[in-house]
A and B are shown apart, each in its own frame.
Chain A
Amino acid sequence: MTNNYVGQRVKRTEDPRLIKGLAHYVDDITLPGTLHVSFVRSIYAHAKINGIETEAAQTVPGVVAVYTGQDIAGKIGPVPCASALPELKVPDHRALAQDKVYFVGHPIAAVVATDRYAARDAIDLIMVDYEELPVVTDVEQAAAGGPVIHEAFGSNIAYKMTSGEGDIDAAFAAADRTVKQRMLHRRLAPIAMEPRGVLARYFPGEEELTLWSSTQIPHLMRTQVALMIGIPENKLRVITPEVGGGFGSKLNVYGEEALISWISMQLGKPVKWIETRRENIQATIHGRGQVGDIEVAFKNDGTLLGLRYSVFADLGAYHQLLTPAIPTLTGLMLSGAYKIPAIQMNITGCFTNKMATDAYRGAGRPEATYVVERALDLVAAELKVDPTEVRRKNFPASNEFPFHTATGLDYDSGDYETALNKAQEIAGYAKLREEQKKARDEGRLVGIGVSTYVEICALGPSQAMPAGGWESATVRIEPTGKVTVLTGASPHGQGQETSFAQIVADELGVGINDVTVIHGDTGVVQYGIGTFGSRATAVGGTAVLVAVQKLKEKAHKIASHMLQSDATRVSFEGGKYALQKAAAAAVTGTSDPVVPVGEAPAGALPEPQTEGKTSLSIQDIALAAHLAKELPPDTEPGLSATYFFEPKNFTFPFGTHIAVVEVDRETGDIKFLRYVAVDDCGRVINPMLVDGQVHGGIVQSIGQALYEEVVYDEQGQLLTGTLMDYAVPRAKHIPQFELDRTETPSPVNPLGVKGVGEAGTIGATPAIVNAVVDALAPFGVKHLDMPIKPENVWRIINGH
Chain B
Amino acid sequence: MKKAINLSVNGVSHSDEVEPRMLLVHYLRDVLGLTGSHVGCETSLCGACTVLLDGQAVKSCTVFAVQADGAAITTIEGLAHNGELHPVQEGFWEKHGLQCGYCTPGMIVAAAQLLDRNASPSREEICHGLEGNLCRCTGYQHIIEAVEYAAKKAGA
Contact = CB atoms under 8 A, between A and B. Distances in A.
B143 A494 contact: no
Contacts, number: 174
Interface string A719-730: 000111000111
Contacts of B104: 18-19
B41 interface: yes
A22 B80 CA distance: 12
A248 to B, nearest CB: 12
A15 B93 contact: yes
Contact of B100 (A21, A194, A688): A194
Interface in B4-53: 19, 21-22, 26, 29-30, 33-43, 45-46, 48
A688 B96 CA distance: 7
B135 interface: yes
Contacts of A1: none
B134 A193 contact: yes
Contacts of A24: 35
B102 interface: yes
A492 B80 contact: no
B43 A27 contact: no
Contacts of A245: 99-100, 102, 136-137
Contacts of B101: 14-15, 18-19, 23, 242, 244, 493
A15 B98 contact: yes
A335 B139 CA distance: 29
A769 to B, nearest CB: 18
Most buried by B among A20, A30, A117, A242: A20
A12 interface: yes
A16 B29 CA distance: 20
Contact of B45 (A30, A276, A495, A723): A723
A755 interface: no
Given A193-B135, A724-B45, A30 B33 contact: yes
Contacts of A18: 98, 101, 104
Contact of A731 (B33, B41, B131): B131
Nearest to B19: A117
Nearest to B78: A21
Nearest to B77: A21
Contact of A244 (B38, B89, B127): B38
B2 to A, nearest CB: 13
Contact of A691 (B30, B80, B89, B96): B96
B151 interface: no
Interface string B64-82: 0000000000011101100
A653 interface: no
Interface residues of B, number: 59
Interface size class of A (residues with CB under 8 A): 35 or more
A737 B29 CA distance: 37
Contact of B43 (A116, A191, A694, A722): A722
Interface stretch (A299-307, A409-417, A625-633, A696-704): A696-704
Given A193-B136, A194-B100, A20 B36 contact: yes
A77 to B, nearest CB: 31
Nearest to A245: B100
Contacts of B35: 21, 24-25, 27-28
A20 B102 contact: no
A697 to B, nearest CB: 7
B142 A695 contact: yes
B108 A19 contact: yes
B88 to A, nearest CB: 9
A762 B85 CA distance: 37
A730 B136 CA distance: 9
A759 interface: no
B130 interface: yes
10 contacts: A11-B94, A19-B108, A20-B77, A192-B102, A277-B40, A277-B41, A700-B139, A722-B43, A734-B140, A736-B141
Given A193-B134, A692-B142, 17 more contacts: A16-B93, A19-B108, A20-B89, A25-B35, A117-B22, A193-B38, A195-B40, A242-B100, A242-B102, A244-B38, A493-B137, A494-B99, A723-B41, A730-B127, A731-B131, A731-B143, A736-B141
Interface of A: 11-12, 14-16, 18-25, 27-28, 30, 116-117, 191-195, 242-245, 247, 274, 276-278, 492-495, 688-689, 691-692, 694-700, 722-724, 728-732, 734, 736-737, 760
Interface of B: 19, 21-22, 26, 29-30, 33-43, 45-46, 48, 75-77, 79-80, 85, 89, 92-94, 96, 98-105, 108, 123-124, 126-128, 130-131, 133-144
